[in-house]
């Protein structure tokens, strides 16, 4: 985990650092993360960066959901994403 910043692109690093700031038990949308990194039109690129996240769940990409409230994707499957979010106390209405 220590060298993750050296093993990803600058864009991925910015996305992962933003995701690390999402408090446990909360979620943000891909669009919100894009705005957090100063790239408001890059929601899909944020999704691709999170898809490439090899350091999950330490870099908690499971805390990022689609704008319509659906869970979106997760490398270990949506069921695993749902379990992680429930474990963190995210509202059952979302998951």
pLDDT in tens, 80-92: 999 999 999 997 6
Cβ-count burial 3-40 (b if 16+ within 10 Å, e if not): eeeeebeeebbbbbebbeebeeeebbbbbbbbbbbeee
Which domains are present in the chain? 4-87 (1.10.10.10)
Give the pLDDT score at 41. Answer: 98
Compute the average pLDDT of residues 15-29: 96
Give the pLDDT score at 50. Answer: 96
Cβ-count burial 51-81 (b if 16+ within 10 Å, e if not): eebeebbebbbbbbbeeeeebbebeeeeeeb
Q: Given 15, 33, 36, 61, which residue is catalytic? A: 61
Residues 34-68: pLDDT tens digits? 999 999 999 999 999 999 999 988 999 999 999 99
* 61 tagged catalytic: yes
């Amino acid at each position: 985990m220590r060298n993750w910043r050296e093993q990803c692109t600058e864009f991925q690093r910015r996305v992962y650092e933003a995701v690390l700031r999402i408090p446990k038990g909360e979620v943000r949308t891909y669009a919100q993360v894009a705005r957090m990194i100063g790239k408001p039109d890059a929601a899909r690129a944020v999704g691709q960066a999170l898809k490439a996240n090899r350091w999950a769940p330490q870099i908690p990409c499971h805390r990022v959901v689609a704008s319509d409230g659906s869970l979106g994707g997760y490398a270990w499957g949506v069921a695993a994403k749902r379990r992680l979010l429930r474990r963190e106390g995210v509202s059952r209405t979302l998951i």
